[in-house]
Structure 1
Amino acid sequence: MNGITSVLGIKYPIIQGGMGNISNAALTAAVSEAGGLGTIGAGTMSADEVEQIILETKTRTQKPFSVNIALSVSPNAVEILKLAVKHGVKIVTLSAGNPAPFIPKLKEAGIKIITVVASVKQAKKAEAAGADVLVAEGFEAAGINSNLETTTLALIPQIVAQVNIPVVAAGGIGDGKGLASMLALGASGVQMGTRFIATKEAPFHEVYKQKLLQANDYETVIVGRSVGKIRRLLNTSYAGKLLEAEKQGITPEEFAELTTEDIHKKGALEGNEEKGFMNGGQVSGLISDIPTVQELLDRMVTEAKERLKISGALL
């Protein structure tokens, strides 16, 4: 076992990223059953909606999974945290806000805390507040991103050097070579979002999955820079509309209205490229098949071991 497998009670050092309002029990449970850590992203969902996904996930797997709460995004963060305690969720992931006020009560309940960070400063604060594991997310990642725009390659070794708890790398990782590279940089594992979209168990629209299969190395775009709300999307017609609106001087409020979770669902769940957006990380260009989650994780670990062995032989 390495740092995160022992702390989180999982087989493989691979975590599923929270997916906001398109989160579901099927994919979450599949990741946990395959040996990784499945994650339910609370997004802007109501406490009742999140509770239903938690309960369904527990019928599909007895293995650990996490509930991800974006503190500055979720209007129901406190209620959802209470649900995690009530239903014996073993792991909670806190992002997009200050986790410190919430950690003590979660720890009292025996819950392990993962905190998402994007800088050394944030990492040190999270460790001091009591986080058990850090997910350090680089600018390559899909969806809402840090305005700091630091890449994963540069971010991981800097954070690893400054903290004493396990660090998980996120952003730009989708295969065993990516896992091996992050382990070589000192990370204890990886978190992936985009790669899990293109799996058999992921209940997302076939148009979304095919967009990932067809993606090239410049298939994603950044929207929201003009309003300080950076988000990485697949380059669809809707993403183009957002970029054009920014050129015309869109306000932060208008941008928020055009990037709601309801619009996200139109793209991801309905496959509507004209009226909804699809999150996608730079790793999209590496995706060439739609395996089962088990096949993906087994393959990644095997490939990572091979790459690390080859790398060692080169020295």
Structure 2
Amino acid sequence: MNQLCSVLAIKYPIIQGGMGNISSPKLVAAVSNAGGLGTIGCGTMTPAEVEERIVATQQLTQKPFALNVPINVNPYTKELLQLAITHKVPVVSLSAGNPTLYIEKLHAHHIRVIAVVASVKHAIKAEQGGADVIVAEGYEAAGINSDLELTTFTLIPQVVDAVSVPVIAAGGVGDGRGLAAALMLGAAGVQMGTRFIATQEMPVHQTYKQRLVDATDVETVILGRSVGQVRRVLCSPFTSSLLADEGKGITLADYQERTSETYHIKGAMEGNEQGGFMNSGQIAGIIQDLPTVTTLIETMMDDAQQCLNRTLLNTFQNSVRGVQL
């Protein structure tokens, strides 16, 4: 069995990203029921709001799922982790902050911990702090990202070489080819956010889904470089206006307000591209359809296997051709 699947007690090495306040129990359960690991994103939600989603998810699946807590984003980190303990959530994903402060307590309650990092240095620290799994995220990914801007293709092999726990590749993965590539780089699996948005089970506005289906390779843009808080989103009138204001010298406070979950919900849930934004990774350019989660995951696994088989066959054939008879 794949090492990651063994650690997390899942069938397939495919993890769903957190997605902040638009996280949906329906999607989380669909991913877990299909053999992956669904994830409830806490975003900036209150403990009461998160607890409601935990309970709803548990009513929809008996399979393992995760709770993603963005440490420096949500002011209720300790309360949210207590919810994971109380409701016996089997996996907690920690991002946007130092995960080592919380791992020991979670392990005391037999909860597996995933640490999301964007550099080799942070991966090493997370492993030393006890993380069971590392998600190494390149800046191709959607939403809040690292200002280091390391790409997935360069980051994954370096993190794999630096740690001994399973590494999950995130950012720029949306099909079986991406999964196969991640495995070839040494990762034990992949985490996806944008691709799961474009599925039948994700209850976002249809405009959002259609934008992903119609997206070209240059449909996303980076916000926040001017204030040191990087976020990747779909191009839109709202993001164009915000970029223009960055060019004029936007304040950090104004930027944070205009990229808050309030505007995220306006874009993603209401389909309002004038008044809000839609997170998206660069992988949007390869999205062509809106499958069910089960179809997506099973197709990815089949396609990844075919890619790996072709690679092995080509390697064998080339080595045979090189033999001097």
Secondary structure (helix, strand or coil) at the match of 1:314 reads: helix
Deviation at 1:187, TM superposition (A): 0.1
- 1:107 corresponds to: 107
CA–CA separation in structure 2 for the residues paired with 1:139 and 1:44: 22
Counterpart check, 1:48 vs 2:48? yes
- Which residue does the alignment assign to 1:123? 123
Distance of 1:209 and 1:24 partners within structure 2: 15
| Paired amino acid for 1:291 | P
* Matches for 1:177-196 after TM superposition, within 5 Å: 177-196=177-196
Larger Rg: 2
Quote the residue 1:25 is aligned against. Answer: 25
1:275 aligned residue: 275
State the Cα deviation string for residues 156-213 of structure 1 (Å, max 9, x = none).
0000001000000000000000000000000000000000000000001000000000
Partner residue, 1:98: 98
The one-character-per-residue Cα deviations of 1:248-305 (angstroms, maximum 9, x if unpaired) are 1101111001011011000000000000100000000000000000000000000000
Unaligned runs of 5+ in 1: none
In structure 2, how many angstroms separate the alpha carbons of the residues matched to 1:17 and 1:151? 17
The residue identity in structure 2 corresponding to 1:99 is: P
| Correspondence 1:222 to 2:200 | no
The one-letter code matched in structure 2 to 1:138 is G
1:63 aligned partner: 63
Give the CA deviation at 1:3.
Answer: 1.4
Question: Where in structure 1 do 4 or more consecutive aligned residues deviate above 4 Å?
Answer: none
Q: In the alignment, residue 295 of structure 1 is paired with which amino acid?
A: T
CA distance in 2, matches of 1:100, 1:6: 23
- Mapped to 1, the partners of 2:25 and 2:108 lie a distance apart of 26
TM-score normalised by L of structure 1: 1.00
Take 1:284 and 1:21, find their aligned partners in 2: how far apart are those partners? 20
Partner of 1:144: 144
Percent of paired sites with the same residue: 58
Offset of residue 244 of structure 1: 0.6
- After TM superposition, the score normalised by the length of structure 2 is 0.97
Q: Which residue of 2 aligns with 1:231?
A: 231
CA distance in 2, matches of 1:268, 1:98: 28
> In the alignment, which residue of structure 1 is the partner of 2:158?
158
Aligned to 1:258: 258
SS at match of 2:92: strand
* 1:170 partnered with 2:170: yes
For 2:241 and 2:302, the matched residues in 1 are separated by: 42
Which amino acid in 1 is paired with 2:173?
I
Structure 2 spans left out of the alignment, 5+ residues: 316-325
SS in 2 for 1:164: coil
Please name the residue that 2:320 is paired with: none
In the aligned structure 1, how far is the partner of 2:311 from the partner of 2:161? 22
**Aligned mates of 1:280, 1:136 — CA distance in 2:** 18
Match of 2:211 in 1: 211
Q: How many residues align?
A: 315
Q: In 2, Cα distance between the equivalents of 1:106 and 1:223?
A: 34
